[in-house]
Structure 1
Amino acid sequence: MAWLGIVTKYMAALGLLLFSCFISAADITLKVTDQHGQPLVNSVVELLGQNNQAVAGDLPVLIMDQIDKHFSPTLLVAQQGQQVNFPNSDNIRHHVYSFSKAKPFQLKLYSGQPEQPVEFENDGIVVLGCNIHDSMVGYIYIASSPYTYQSDANGIVRIEQSRLPVKISLWHPLQSQPLEEKALLSITENAVSSLAIVIKTDTPAPRNTFGNKFKAENDQ
């Protein structure tokens, strides 16, 4: 089955990764849900073909914290060339790493503040882990477009009508399809102003943790 479907008053899903539909002159509201009808927070909608005028050096440094053995936030949306700081707000040490093609890196066992932020030069998906606490998983979506949106708790994303016509990509960290894969949707300027989008997701398997084995003497 298609992992992403689109339902409007006038049309149903047309395929796996590429759809087209007609949109009204008003701003477009996308409501993203899973296959059970539950809203999907942290869905990422990127407007493609939109030039990024921002200079990487002018972008603010983003924060991916570590709190209670979790990455906070779970998903961070960054621009290509943007830097991310990885403070450790826990009272135990973490070893942050990624094997992702977009940015392989590691911050070896540390507490407090790392020496410097990490720059993400390439667009793509970065999956974060901790070499000590295997239950820790986080994501950084590195966008090539400045017009990239993250769905709210109700699964809602709004796109300005002035951006139409446009092709967008859709992605979610729990999608059933491979993590690097993005669905594509072409939106024109006519017809309805609201789209219901369904992304098929999987429940992540429980992950183990190494627990106390690698704690330093002053870790608790």
Structure 2
Amino acid sequence: MNARLHAISFAALLMLSAAAQAGTLVVSVLDKEGKPVQDAVVVATPANKNARPKNPLPPQATISQEKMQFIPAVTVLPVGAKLQFVNNDPWDHHVRSSPAGMGQFNAANAGFELRLEGKTEGKPAKSGEVTLDKAGALGATLLGCFIHGSMRGYIYASESPWAGKTSDQGIATFEDLPEGTAQVKVWQADQLIDIAPQQVTVGTVQAKNVMQLTVVPRRRRS
């Protein structure tokens, strides 16, 4: 019995030790004018490569084509995730992908393509699925429609499980990063040239970091 109690106590101590070795990082993303930026992607990569978050990125997501828009406009997933596209508009849409940033202007970099028929009233919407496991899926991808050139959306496939979008206050929070150093990088659709990543130290005291873009993002169509 004493041996069993000792084992339980040891396991509890290990859990407490693991919890004590996790810290919180708050990243604030600002535009060129110092205003908060919504839907910027923040990726934190800790030096401890074996650590995993309590709430990992979802293995699948759905993007709707609705009112001539991709909804949500930015989707963050892990590499290898499944992505479903659904056309809720009554007219046909096309889905094409290419690397975001400077590479989006090179037609030779095209990725996956789908064509979805328009939704018929009273019937289920047409959908298609892709898996983000091909070369070029890592990082940011631009979504467009050959039929409607004004449509744009973005997906970000992250190798690090600590990744997410900023809130309307320009904030992204990671609550269970392992203590120690971590690299933080930010991606935003209008920032065609990547800004340099920063190194932060995560500890028992909440770490805060500010990343500033060199552009003012375009206003999103409502």
Are the structure 2 counterparts of residues 159 and 59 from structure 1 closer, same or farther at C-alpha, using a change threshold of 3 Å?
A: closer
Equivalent residue in structure 2 for 1:44, among 41, 44, 55: 41
- Please name the residue that 2:106 is paired with: none
Task: Give the number of the structure whose residues are more often helix, by fraction.
Answer: 2
Which sections of structure 1, spanning at least 5 residues, go unmatched?
Answer: 1-24, 207-220
Aligned-pair Cα RMSD in Å: 3.1
* Cα deviations by residue, 1:2-45 (Å, 9 ceiling, x for unpaired): xxxxxxxxxxxxxxxxxxxxxxx963322111011221011111
Instruction: Determine what percentage of the aligned residue pairs are the same residue.
Output: 26
User: What does residue 148 of structure 1 align with?
Assistant: 163
Cα separation, partners in 2 of 1:86 and 1:182, compared to 1, 3 Å: farther
Alignment partners' CA distance in 2, 1:192 and 1:47: 15
Contact 2:32–2:216 under 8 Å retained in 1: no
**Aligned pair partner of 2:197 in 181, 184, 202:** 184
The residue aligned with 2:115 is 108
Query: Per-residue deviation at 1:106?
Result: 0.7
Shift of 1:144: 0.7
Q: Secondary structure of 2:160's match?
A: coil
CA distance in structure 1 between the partners assigned to 2:31 and 2:62 by the alignment? 28
Change (3 A) 1:129 1:198: same
Alignment of 1:90 onto 2:89: yes
Relative distance call for 1:89 and 1:160 in structure 2 (3 A) is: same
1:131 pairs with one of 146, 154, 158 = 146
Instruction: Say whether the 8 Å CA contact 1:171–1:183 is kept in structure 2.
Output: no
Is the 1:103–1:126 Cα contact (8 Å) retained in structure 2?
no
Match of residue 130 from structure 2: 118
Distance between the aligned counterparts of 2:98 and 2:25, measured in 1? 36
Equivalent residue, structure 1, for 2:13? none
Distance 1:32 1:95 in 2: 32
Q: What TM-score do the two structures reach when normalised by structure 2?
A: 0.68
8 Å Cα contact 1:65-1:73 kept in structure 2:
yes
The whole-number CA distance in structure 1 between the counterparts of 2:211 and 2:39 is 14
Q: 1:194 is matched with which residue?
A: 208
Offset at residue 155 of structure 1 (A) = 0.3
Alignment correspondent of 1:157: 172
Question: Structure 1 residues 160, 59: CA separation in 2 closer, same or farther (over 3 Å shift)?
Answer: closer
Instruction: Tell me what 2:69 maps to.
Output: 70
The reply to whether residue 81 of structure 1 matches residue 80 of structure 2 is: yes
Contact 1:52-1:144 within 8 A present in 2 as well: no
Deviation, structure 1 residue 87: 0.3
Distance 1:84 1:182, change over 3 A: farther
- 1:202, 1:37 → 2: CA distance? 9
- The answer to whether the Cα contact below 8 Å between 1:51 and 1:146 also exists between their aligned partners in 2 is no
Structure 1 SS opposite 2:140: strand
Aligned equivalent of 1:172: 188
1:29 aligns with 2:31: no
SS of the residue corresponding to residue 160 of structure 1 reads strand
Distance apart, 1:182 and its partner CA: 5.5
Q: CA deviation at 1:202?
A: 4.7
- Number of residues paired by the alignment? 175
In 1, the alpha carbon distance for the partners of 2:146 and 2:163 equals: 30
In structure 2, runs of 5+ residues without a counterpart are 1-21, 104-108, 119-124
